[in-house]
Amino acid sequence: MKSPRQLADLPFAAELQQSDGPLELEGDYDRIWFDGSVLADTMAGGSRFVESGFTGVTFDGGRMRRARLSDVWFGETRFVAFDLAESSLTDVWFSGCVLAGVQAFALTTRRVRFRDCKLDSVNFRECSLTDVLFEDCVLRDVDFGGAKLTRVRFPGCTLSGADLTKVSCVDVDLRGARLGDGASGEMGIRAGYDCLRGARIDTLQLVTLAPLLAHHLGITVEDP
């Protein structure tokens, strides 16, 4: 299926049934649509979502650990201090979303798209991210430590303070991403830049990373 740009592009959009919640522990949700809801301190661990949509929703705190999401759309949705750890996401789209202080460790994802999103202090440690696209996103202090990244791309993104410690890269494409915040001078990769084996970078990114790589290799660079 072609990647949708809005909720209406989904083949099941016309069949969505609007709901105001609340979400329940181990709930089973099929073709539901939440629009403009504020879901505070949601406790929906172990829930299952299939062919559903969330637009203009705010998740303020709460847990959805070990949830299973398949064919789910999140548009202009905010996740603040939310726990999505150990969940499974397949064919999930995030468009114009904000994720701040989100616990997403040990997440398993396949064919997930983040477009025009802001991710701040998101914990992706020990995740398995396969066929994931971050497009025109801002990723600040995102922790990928110990994650397995397979066919992950970052076109048009800005990475600032990312932690890639012990990350495993298979066909990861960083080309077209901005590594660092030029205004603050913060480096794009805070740690783990030596674990980029299997990643593709462009010439400008190589120049940005060169001082870190030289330091790691014990090379002193001095002009005569």
Q: In the prediction, which pLDDT does 182 show? A: 47
Where on the phi/psi map is residue 206: left (φ > 0), alpha (ψ -120 to 50), or beta?
Answer: alpha
Exposure of 110 by Cβ count < 10 A (0-12 exposed, 13-18 middle, 19+ buried)? middle
Q: In the prediction, which pLDDT does 183 show? A: 46
- In CATH, the architecture of 1-123 is 3 Solenoid (2.160)
Q: How is residue 204 written in tokens?
A: 């400008």
Q: How is residue 186 written in tokens?
A: 């913060």
Q: In the prediction, which pLDDT does 154 show? A: 94
Q: In the prediction, which pLDDT does 218 show? A: 74
Which residues sit opposite 158 in a β-bridge? 138, 178
Q: In the prediction, which pLDDT does 197 show? A: 79
Q: In the prediction, which pLDDT does 185 show? A: 44
For the chain, give every domain's residue range.
1-123, 142-224
What is the block-wise mean pLDDT of the chain (224 residues), using blocks of 10 residues? 82 91 91 93 94 96 96 97 97 97 97 97 97 96 94 93 89 85 55 73 73 68 72
Local structure of 144: helix, strand or coil: coil
Exposure of 26 by Cβ count < 10 A (0-12 exposed, 13-18 middle, 19+ buried)? exposed
Local structure of 1: helix, strand or coil: coil
Q: In the prediction, which pLDDT does 184 show? A: 43
